[in-house]
Amino acid sequence: MKKEQVVDHKVNWPVTILLIIGCLTIFFPLYMAVIIAFKQPSEMTNDIAGALSFPSSWSFDNFAEAMRVTDFWNSLGNSLLITVVTVVLALIIHSLAGYAIGRSMARSKFYNFAYLYIVSGMFVPFAILMMPLVKQTAQLGIANRFGVIVLYVVFYMPMNLLLYAGYLKNIPIALEEAAFVDGSTTWNTFWKIIFPIMKPMHATVAVLTAMQVWNDVMTPLVIMSGTGKNTLPLAQLNFQTQFGTNYNLAFASYLLALLPILIFYVICQKQILNGVVNGAVK
């Protein structure tokens, strides 16, 4: 009989300590947000012990008041509309661009230049573009939710194109060659073979794009100002005044705004971790 091999599992203490510190760094602000959201303004104190203590009574009054102040359901509807439409358009347009450019870069200098030109957009600060965009959207009559969606699709194209083009390198070209031999067109090949295979990357792009759109303040602030339409981040500016901030209502509103995007991330997390083309080519 073979002797059982005893594996000595040593604890990597430096890595373990760093992980513990990282968890505490994430947990502590979340803990403070929850505690403050349930406290009454009279319970807010300057000492550390009072700030870390639990509220005397757990009440949802702050959440109800935060929903009233921010016109929560209308703001949530605007945020959902802008985020969902942006994500859908990003998945379609950016994946098409990534496929067209990614598969042609090696044999065409034009597509290689187009790739570098688009990706270089990641290095252009929004502050430089802000004032020209405000003027152009006003002149075109799209200084509204539609204009914000168009800008988001353009803003996030460089990063998404980089992800899609890089991901295509892991997809064997033999799949497309086999489809072409069977008489499939490039259009059909993309939609019936390549697009479904890129499902994990779609989930990654969707999560990254949705999180950036959902939390963005500046673009709706400068484009949609005066339209009477608020996203959740814009509505939450109501808690900040010239003389202070109502932290109890603000943190309650932040937690409410966190829930939809958190649920979306949990749903898409599986797809991000899944393999791409395991067993596709034998």
Q: What is the pLDDT along the chain (282 residues), one digit of tens a residue?
A: 455 555 556 777 888 888 888 888 888 888 888 888 888 777 776 666 666 777 877 878 888 888 888 888 998 999 999 999 999 999 999 999 999 998 888 788 898 899 999 999 888 888 888 888 888 888 988 888 999 999 999 999 999 999 898 888 888 888 888 888 888 888 998 898 899 988 888 888 888 899 899 988 889 988 887 777 888 888 887 776 644 567 788 888 888 888 888 888 777 766 655 533 333 333
CA distance 37 to 222: 29
- For 220, the token pair is 């709706």
| Token reading at 274 | 């899944």
Please, are residues 61 and 55 in contact by the beta-carbon 8 Å criterion? Answer: no
Give which of 202, 199, 219 is closest to 154, Cα–Cα: 219
For residues 249 and 253, give the distance between their C-alpha atoms in angstroms, rounded to a whole number: 6
Residues 6+ apart with CB under 8 A from 114: 101
Coil, helix or strand for 240? strand
pTM over 0.85: no
Q: How far apart are CA 184 and CA 181, in angstroms?
A: 7
CA distance 160 to 149: 16
**Residue type at position 114:** A
